[in-house]
Structure 1
Amino acid sequence: MMSKSWFNRLLLSYMPIFIIVVTFTFFVFFQLISEQGRKEAINANSMLSLQAMRLIDTSLRAIDNMVMKESINNKSLIDFFNSNENGDPYINISAVMKMNDMISYYPLIDSVYLVRYEDQVVLSNATGGHIDTYPDKAFIEQYRNTISQKWTDKRSFKQFTLLESKDVVSLVRGAPFMTGEKGMIVVNVATDSLERLVHELYNSEVSFIRIKDGAGNELLNEAEPVDSMRVYANYKSSYSNWSYISGFVQGTFIQTVSLLYNVWFVIGLLMIFAGLVWMIYISRRNAKPVEQIVSRFSGYKLALAESGKNTGSGRINEFVFIESALDNLTEQAKQYQQQYKEDLHLRTRNLFHQLIEAGAELTPLEWQREAQRLQLPAPADRHTLIVMELDKYGEFCSSYSRNDQNLLKFALRSITYEQSSRFGYACWAEWTASSRLSVILFESGNAPAAMLVQLCDSIRAWIEQNMKFTISIGIGDPALQHSEIAKSFQQALEALNYKMVLGENRLITREDMMSQGQVEVYAYLGMIRSAVYAFRKSEASWRAELDDLFSQMKQGLLTKDEIMNVINYLLYSLGRELSGLGKEFNLVWESEALPVLTGKLDNCHSLENMHEAIIGKMTELEHTFADMRYSGQHAGIIQEMRRVIEEEYVNPNMSLEYLSEKYDMNAKYVSKLFKETTGQKFIDFLIDIRLNEAKRLLKETRRTVQDIAEEVGYTSAISFTRVFKKVVGCSPGEYRSETLKQQNG
């Protein structure tokens, strides 16, 4: 019973708001309808004025065009103006018949008459005679010398003296049309005809139309007084110069609409006032139970004064009192739950890091107790660490939003738990880096190592088939004691360091790292210098040397950091060698090639990608340098000199003087052109060719140093040995011995 009473009270409390909303809805609705109706009525009235103006202008213009056409083409009218008073009577009869035809074709025409200046004769459709006896003599005299091109203002006209005059507007045209020297044609249109024409367009009880001529005279006879009318449209004809005024008669539709608007406005105000009164009454009535509830808790002292929630008089606000108590309890509960969740998550991550970090002091008993509290897997007989790394993590971040990244990472973690359970493993996975998910696998008994590999490969294959990214998995050795878990974790991380060499989207174990012998990084520096030197000399061997370099790097099983050190040395060597080619070549390398190549290498995730990027860019650079070298004026001559040097390098007399005599050029100029075109001095080019051949002979033959010196263009073994040691770094004999040792292993 009490609950029903409260329900009714609350229902009545909200009822005034409901009534006010509904009332205002109706008020706005009818207001919009009224306003729309008023606008439509005004637009219709404007269209009425325009329609009346266009109708009258069209009718008058048609009469004007007809008069102009007939005055030019009609024989009866032309004959009348060309005859005299004593002429043929048939001419007058024909002219009268033509005027009657004009009146028949255009009902608006009230009368037509013709004036012939030569004998002062006036001939109308009803009578004829001398101008002195015609009632419209004054009008004729007025317009005889100033013939209007359009319609006159409103005037009085009577055909006969005995008849009453009527209001007309007249059109006066000269005859002939262009000069008007022989007479005039006067066409009269009664204003009554115009009034009947206009009255067919509207209802005079609702709206009105006023037409005024150029002098301001009313053309229509209206019965309504001006005070009872309200003007909404006023247009002026460009043809007749008449004004068209229209509006509504007061007390009709517009007044009704305005009245409705006022009525609904008053009703809305009354409903607002009634709703306010009703809400005050209901609020006072429903406040009594709340006061009783507060009085029962008067012994509970809430620190409202400190929080500034007391009223100014020192009296406690009942709703604030209740709200503060509930807020306080709710906030405490939320804080407790939030703190519990945060502590749970932080404790879980902290425990995981204690296990995988070397030097953390954690006993098996402490681990077991904490795992039980956090609802984690209990310690097992042995544990294996695996680390899953997202391949091409930069592309992963750029392809997905932050929310999508979190969702995909959650999916990877979930599939790890699911697959581990399917293979009979308990697992514990935590994100230890933005791109790495570390997993502890709990093994009870002696599970075969092959099953662990199958589990990791199933996770990798599922991600490859169902996701748009791949993962690489590093696997550490099983930890028989909990203190060895950190070592297993480091082994898994170390395995991932070889991902750039071994490839992505695969498993990397200790066996993979031990199956290939590692080579020290400095072993590749000589290969880099040789390839870069060949590139500088535009020799085709540089590509094969770089291919061999990357092949040996892959076989040497370098870590990511070691690979980056080798690549950086390669770029440094390229820049150093190319700086000796001249400013133009160095500018191309530093401003164009190096930034592009660096950007490509930053996006490479494997040794193969780096190989392709470097070979591709150096090939482009080789073509660019070739175009720059052979675009000079003497490029063909220098190219021919290079061919001669390569063919005749064994000639002891090969020198700049020899070439200058052969090509009839100054020796210094030859030296300058050779350096600018090839990027290398003449003597260096010659020494490279001779020493490369000498190295081949030292490796492949048992000939003496003296014989080899003569074979490559040196007359003295001493000078050959001095040059060889300066360039290669050791004597020819030492070079041969070192080569034999390498060949024999």
Structure 2
Amino acid sequence: MMRKSWFKRLLLSYMPVFIIVVTFIFFIFFQLFSEQSRSEALNANKTLSLQAMRIVDTSLKVIDNMIVLESINSEPLNNFFRAAGGSDPYINIRAVQKLKELINYYPLIDSIYLVRNSDGYVLSDATNAYIGSYPDHTFIEEYQVSKTPKWTGGRSFEQFKMIGGKQVVSLVRGSPYMKNDLGMIVVNVSVDSLNKLTEDMYESKVSFIQVNDASGRLLFGSEAKVEKSELFSEYTSGYTGWKYGSGLINGGYVNAVSALYNLWFAVGLIMIAAGFIWMIYVTRRNAKPIERIAERFSGYSLPVSGAGLWKGKPDEFAFIESAFDHILEQSRTYQERYQEDLHLRTRYLFHQLIEGQTEISLEKWREEAVRLNLPEPLERFRLLIIEMDKYGEFCRKYTAGDQNLLKFTLRTVAGEIAMRLNIRIWSEWTSPSSLAVICFEREETDDREGEVLARFAAQTLNWTEQNLKFTVTIGSGEGIYRIHDLPKSYKSAVEALKYKIVLGENRLIRSQDIAGTSNAEVYAHLGEIRSIIQSFRMLNIGWEELYEAWFGQLKGSLLTNEEIFNLMNYLLYNVGRELSDMNKEFYRRWVQEGLPMLTEMLEHGSSLEQLRFEIKQELSSLFESMRRHQEGRQYTSMIRDICKLIEQDYANPNLSLEMLGDRFQLNPKYISKLFKEHTGQRFVDFLIHVRMREAVRLLLETDDSVQEIAEGVGYTHAISFTRVFKRIMGVAPGEYRSDQLRKANG
């Protein structure tokens, strides 16, 4: 009973203060709101006038510019003005068509007519006559003397007497432009059309717009008589000279109401003073019971020395405050530790799932999901890996703090995009450059999930590229139905990303897109590399074609990143090996400059196109230096002729060093030595390489038997051909043909 009495006493004591303050705030609020609304209305009214002027001026300028351009460029109009006396129907018809075309293209135009000075002939879109009989002859005669590029004020234009006139503003332009000696073009714009441009911009019951021409006559807008004091804004167009005025209807009443603001403010001050006096009285009356309660704490010692003192005196409220601060600090510390523990447990569980190091059941996962605030598992799962492209460049470009912020942003955005697409995901960073994402899918919506996954990937890729200034590539693993198969889906996503350098960055790579696809045999590319290096060593300009063709094959071969880098290293190794047998200066330049630069490029290379460009640029520079050096050496031309002869006559089984010696009048052994020095390859190895290259082409492009192909490339016995082919290509000719056909057919 005592508690209720004390509650009612406090409530009734402070209620008058509450009522006074609320009443004052209520009136002040509505007064401030009224004043703010008035201020905003005035600002909006000023903007209204300015916007109306800009809209009208812009519309008229567009028409003016169009007329100037047409007077210069339009063939029908120029033909009309240059026509001799009399009227050519064909010229007139084309001119009328042009006028109608302009009217249709610019709906503001009400009518256009042309006046030809040579004979006083007037032609409009609806009629034709001579100046003396044309209804608008007074206007024509006035402006024939002085043509103005400005728009006229409002005037009545009458094209047909039986229809009557309408209010228009007119633009007069001479033809041709600048000279103005052949005639003039008169464009009439209806005042009603200009009025419609602005009438939707304001509420006629609240505000008004009046537009007067240069002479002060009303063009359009509100027709009511407006006092000067009711105009809140007025602008004069520098283009037309028209005046645009706007204001609020009943503006005088609004000003009178706003004047009451000072009265309400004075009443409010009185109410505050009354409330303050009443509060002091009530506080003094109610302070005694609180003081008695505080006295009961004075006998307790505080937990912290000095915590219950204020200016050297005991302070019971400081004691209570200190106790509460101590409790809150303990609670905050506990919450921080708990949240940190939850984060660590979440990451630990994620890594256990994708690495297959846990035997957690579906029910146990659901319990953990509730405890750790994770998405609940569904019927099917899929792993995605969002890998940052050019991560080395990313680390060099940003500080550690910026890197963490951008990674946090990427993860957050991926979650928001998934939420918008109604996808459940769980993402964690598994490496500095890779964000692993578990997608939860429903079994009965396979097709839709595939579409939604593609949309999720596309939106993530686009947003990252446009807003974070770097790109990512997404590897998609296969869909699985058991928790214990999550490592399998994760591994397939990792495998998909291994083809990024061939398939390209900033895209989605699905595991099913590469699954079951036979990778091109690496050793088949080794032969292409040897052909390129051989042509390069022989200073054959055709090496570039072989180089480009080989990279074209790489783009379609679907090799992994590791296989691509191995082939590039093999290419660089062969370049160095060939150069080591040649001029020491070239080899030194290669070892000290070219090779280190290309090796570093390989370490940071991100695309096949980048590798192609960088390596070709260095080899081209080296090729030009070698070519200039070799041009001064003896026998260079002869070795080139021998290489061409081998390329053309490889099918001759009698092609040998002895035959070349007879042909070039040199000792066969000396030819062999020169060939090795200039090409870096023995004659017989070069001949075998040419024959095997042609044999591969015949195996893939024809149905000829192995015996026929052997004879076609210079071998009299198929056994010899098969033995050499197997030594070079790794398999017999028949097996090679079968393997390639099987790969081509999937």
Structure number with bigger Rg: 1
TM-score normalized by structure 1? 0.48
